[in-house]
Structure 1
């Protein structure tokens, strides 16, 4: 009898198998299916709990470092002195030791958030706090049009967890020519990007050339994280939001959405995309 589709190998700890019943053409068959893991992950900074996220329990050191950097808790990887991962009965705790100045800033941030509420037009103050100012990219790099298609074509074969489960997002750091350098997966799109940022900045903390590809929509938070990390371009498989486009335009981020190997839409700073010879930049007039 036919069972669930055979799954490719996936990273250990990121998935588990369960017995399922598959229906096809009116017939039922018992078999095994592979499911992505999703567990509560608590992030602690200098002994103080800051956030609990639902995440895939892979590359959690990368996740913690990327979260600390992309959320502005620390400015450089050197300000994170230690990362410890501890598994408990109710989930996983990741403990970070950060510089005293960064911890003081984090405590001030938490104090300012206490008691903030919003209703009607009063929500403007809370919204302004949520959309933190972004420092414009100092020297944004060009984006090669051919590299977008090359990156997308090679992306799927590296998504081992997605191939096994069909339930995860990926974020990839690609070189200028579209070659994949790093890829991280998670059930959450923000988590996948944080993991990638942590891994990328841990390996090359001072220079992040190339561009980022994500298998999701491009929300405001995704733009914030990408710019904060220092990447010049973000390519998303799905659509961006209006706020994401506005922030990308202001910060100097080249934002591409609805990306496919042969077609994509540039939403901000399209002038930085180097097109092949014979395909000049369109004249807006």
Structure 2
């Protein structure tokens, strides 16, 4: 969190030292992007050159996913695995700086390259937890002993061709809970829906496209052997989003956004024996987040 605060401070200083004057057209009017909701501009100021930051918390939903486990003595796929996010209970303790990053959170910093377009960088901290126990189809093989040093697999050893098995915790627990992290760059467009006469309050539609890296910290127990791994670049993702920004003042805003994402993770850490064991999967998700932010 200290690094984040330092980064935000430096960006504010950069913004203050590189502030741009609003560019006027030859007729003296401000260059404001057209909204799809109106044929005329209701604002009398441009956002070009503005910087914004926001912080918020999310909910997420995951599509069924195949998980491929491969290593010494095994190579198998669990089909259509079901998983959910992990919500933290509402509590005032998360207002403390040392606890603020425990729930599923979102942080974003953006810069308006035009009145109605911005480029931003962000970190979406989601959580992904495989349901245990659950019945799934399995394809592949599991030897009596796997990995190095060897781990006994007991009754799970065998060759499989789509049979249904019940995955219990003695076979597997599988989580990206610290977390299912999406570090991304987005391009956003803004369309005014309503602007108050005071020009201080407004409602804006934000849409955007994004791409970035998936950097999970995966907590895995594989036949009761594993660890809460360190962060690693496990793959990449792309996303689209749409949401509403309600400007309480010209700078302070509340936001609710829904994001649809697709990810590919070919390099997931499992037992911690990264030279021998790994997993891969593709995860599709829907994320909804609420945020508070400031634009200046």
TM-score of the alignment, normalized to the shorter chain, above 0.5 = no
The TM tier, using the shorter chain, reads: under 0.3
TM-score normalised per structure 1? 0.22
Q: Which has the higher helix share?
A: 1
Q: Which has the higher strand share?
A: 2
TM-score normalised per structure 2? 0.22
Q: Which of 1 and 2 has greater Rg?
A: 2
